[in-house]
Structure 1
Amino acid sequence: MTADALLPELTARAVRAAHRDADGCPCEAGVLAVRPDATVVRHAGAVAKAHAPGTDPGPLALRVATAARLPGILLPPLAPHPAPLHDRLVTLWPYGAPVDPDDPDAAPWEAAATLLARLHRSPAPPGLPPMRGPAKAAQAIARLVAAAPDHPAAPPVLRAWATLPAWARAEAPMPGPGRLCHGDLHLGQLVRHPAPDGPWKLIDVDDLGAGVPAWDLGRPAAWFACGLLPPEAWSRFLAAYRAAGGPAVPATGDPWAALDTAARALTVQTAALAVAKATEAGRPVDEVEQAVVDACDRMSRRPPPLADAPPK
């Protein structure tokens, strides 16, 4: 079913969730996202999310239940179970105020790091599936190969991909024992709840699972290594994670040996998606996208493990 056909019924579910216990309703509403992997609508204080076609209901139910058990870390759901809607599964969530993309100086790096540390220290419930980060990286590579096999940026990205260990390419199980991981951490995965100035919470449980906790630090580590995240912001993030007892890196000293694989994998994923999206849109890669491709080229010439310092 197309997103356009899905929207009326998805919106109706958000309306019912918003008004179930409300004394009054400001009726702020709108479509928050329409992507192949998710359609998301808001009505007042409720958000309805239609997950990707083919989503397995069992693992999604476990992920939603995990969010319900950790309301101080993850945004808790409004409904305890996913519900079918045509060929999709729908989950219901309270609305939270997102990070302001126009105010990078106010980016909640410390809050993100502290929430991650607390998540990684929480026990993974029995039966929770693996964290889906490596699988998403592999999907990004598949999209690159399908959309832009002849693009001049494709070879360095694919060479860098080939240097990664099999688990980071979703070709082998992740090394264990696994910890509870978010699987797709970036600043768009944080909201304040209650809006507009409640505490920060992590959202989006689609990739939640047991795995290598360093993966959740991989994107900011990659941005730092590529020169896209200022050293001061990276230092704040890392210090907050350590202060909260995060297990992904040593408590002191150089963290890079623990972060190397994840940072490389997230760099490759970012570059693959950038090149694929640019090709699909019929435009050249921009300066930031080219910087990530260039990082892949450097990585392919210097296979892991890295030396004691992150790449320049």
Structure 2
Amino acid sequence: MTTPLLADLAAEARNAAHPQSDPCACGVVVTLADRADATVVRHAATVAKAHTPGTDPAELRARLDTAARVPGVLLPPLTPTPVLVHGRLVTLWPYGTPVDPDAPDEAPWEAAAGLLARLHRTTPPVPLPPMRGPEKAARAITRLHAAGPHPAARAVTRAWATLPAWARAEAPPPDATSLCHGDLHLGQLVRHPAPAGPWLLIDVDDLGLGPAAWDLARPAAWYACGLLPPDEWTRFLTAYRAAGGPAVPADGDCWPALDVPARALTVQTAARAVAKAAAAGRPLDEVEQCLVDACARMGTIPAQLPRNFAK
């Protein structure tokens, strides 16, 4: 069903793709995402994104400005200033080809690692707010509490309680000096120009200053939970180190730097999974149960755990 927001977002994309009322402007508009936190449509080579309700305009402009000034790492926006559509800030972007989820053997781990290393070594070109990784983790816990009872919720909340205050967005992080993406996963990479250009990072909503290790936390968490094969984790970590990434030591044990962020992302992902299961009244699937089992283990040992904390 087409909502007023989707209809007007489609119009923004068409107008940007065909500013001179090109006859081709009647082409198909594709909805790429329609969630409470983001609605995204594509027309031709243009993407229009409606950001989360309540997004701070000044912070978003700073993030857009940063994307425009870090070429070769972040996908630059088509326009420097968001517009307001149905009370939502909307930005325009060039379309890039995403990672193919059906071709896991071709996952661009090395490209992701190299882009992160370059981002983390970049001096922010403009003043930026904190990256929003811990804030998103805290929101996942809030969503879990609001979803109603579920037998897995206790393990997740106990694991959450073992994290330091900064990882729960209750205090500033100990090292908040790096330019961070804030929500790194393979869905945040596209090839631009499509379909065969270089890989670039997209989605600046969580971009900001923070501990660089947070950007490695999702693949680290999936590796620690046994959901990311060791060879893929090794490819990613080796490429990050080879590119001079500052989040971990150049050699030796990386886990002291990654332990807290990896725990936090495990809890965040498990909280979202349990909340969805509770809302749908269904049992956890195999991957979701694996994440909850990891939380159960973390909840019993608050001290630092080795890399296989989920086993």
Q: TM-score, normalised by structure 1?
A: 0.95
Q: 1:210 to 1:190 in 2, by over 3 A?
A: same
Taking structure 1 as reference, are residues 73 and 28 closer, same or farther at Cα in structure 2, changes over 3 Å only? Answer: farther
Match of 1:250 in 2: 249
Match of 1:260 in 2: 259
Asked if the contact 1:3/1:34 (under 8 Å) is kept, the reply is no
Aligned: 1:277 with 2:287? no
Change (3 A) 1:7 1:23: closer
Larger deviation: 223-232 or 16-25?
A: 16-25
Give the whole-Å Cα distance in 2 for the aligned partners of 1:268 and 1:244: 29
1:310 offset after TM fit, Å?
A: 3.6
Range moving further from structure 2, 120-129 or 30-39: 120-129
**CA RMSD, aligned part only?**
1.7
Structure 1, unaligned stretches of length 5 or more? none
State the shift of 1:303 in Å: 1.5
Superposed, 1:201-216 pairs within 5 Å as 201-216=200-215
Q: Determine the structure 2 residue equivalent to 1:142.
A: 142
Give aligned pairs, total.
309
* Contact kept? 1:260, 1:304, Cα under 8 Å: no
Shift of residue 235, structure 1, vs aligned partner: 0.1
CA deviation digits over 1:202-245, x for unaligned, max 9? Answer: 00000000001100000000000000000000000000000110
Residue number in structure 2 paired with 1:240: 239
Preserved contact between residue 257 and residue 306 of structure 1 (Cα < 8 Å): no
C-alpha distance in structure 2 between counterparts of 1:127 and 1:108, whole Å: 30
After TM superposition, the structure 1 stretch with the greater mean CA deviation from structure 2, 74-83 or 12-21, is 12-21
Give the SS at the match of 1:195. Answer: coil
Percent identity over paired residues: 70
Structure 1 segments of 4+ aligned residues over 3 angstroms from their partners: 20-28
Structure 1 residues 298 and 69, CA gap change in structure 2 (3 angstroms): same
Superposed displacement of residue 177, structure 1: 4.4
Report the 3-state secondary structure (helix = DSSP H, G, I; strand = E; otherwise coil) of the residue aligned with 2:3: helix
> What is residue 127 of structure 2 aligned with on the other side?
127
Q: What is residue 200 of structure 1 aligned with on the other side?
A: 199
Amino acid in the other structure paired with 2:106? A
Counterpart amino acid of residue 205 in structure 1: V
2:146 is matched by which residue type in structure 1? Answer: A
- The offset of 1:8, in angstroms, is 1.1
- Give the Å deviation of 1:21: 7.9
Give the aligned residue type for 1:127.
P
Partner of residue 165, structure 2:
166
The amino acid that maps onto 2:75 is L
1:22 & 1:95 partners in 2: Cα distance?
20
Shift of 1:7: 1.0
SS in 2 for 1:251: coil
Shift of 1:122: 0.5
Deviations 1:129-183 (A, max 9, x none): 00000000000000001103x2110111001000000000000011224200000
Contact 1:256 1:310 (8 Å CA) reproduced: no
